[in-house]
């Protein structure tokens, strides 16, 4: 069976991806791969963002948050739910087509959650 570290290394090795962090809902890094990130910082801030974004969805009647894409000058950040309370943060390079990544996260998200 493939482990979490293998899955994250595979995500980080994708074309245009700089790094990936699996984080707890409390903001602690569980596993990470890639070079262009500080896992503790990314995990803490991503968890805080996910909490506020979830509140926005609830307040606006949108339901449970499953993922979010943030566009920044130095590339997008994708947050995707991984299990009941954990999240996956993926940092990509500017101009990266993240469509295939988002598709794969939707299709294989349950398998990733099963590794937790």
Query: Can you list the positions of beta strands (E) in 11-113?
Result: 17-23, 29-34, 67-70, 77-81, 87-92
Residue 14: exposure state from Cβ atoms within 10 A (0-12, 13-18, ≥19): middle
pLDDT in tens, the chain (116 residues): 458 888 889 889 999 999 999 999 999 999 999 976 799 999 999 999 999 999 999 999 999 999 999 999 999 999 999 988 899 999 999 999 999 999 988 887 777 777 76
Query: Which pLDDT score is estimated for 2?
Result: 58
| Counts of helices then strands in the chain (DSSP H, E) | 3, 5
Query: Which pLDDT score is estimated for 72?
Result: 96
Query: Which pLDDT score is estimated for 13?
Result: 92
Query: Which pLDDT score is estimated for 1?
Result: 41
């Amino acid at each position: 069976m493939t482990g979490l570290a293998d899955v994250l290394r595979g995500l980080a090795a994708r074309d245009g991806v700089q790094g990936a962090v699996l984080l707890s809902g409390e903001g602690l890094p569980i596993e990470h791969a890639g070079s262009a990130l500080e896992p503790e910082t990314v995990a803490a801030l991503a968890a805080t963002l996910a909490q506020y974004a979830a509140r926005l969805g609830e307040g606006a009647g949108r339901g449970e948050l499953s993922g979010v894409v943030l566009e920044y000058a130095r590339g997008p950040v994708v947050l995707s739910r991984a299990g009941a309370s954990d999240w996956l943060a993926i940092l990509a390079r500017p101009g990266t087509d993240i469509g295939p990544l988002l598709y794969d996260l939707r299709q294989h998200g349950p398998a990733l959650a099963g590794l937790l």
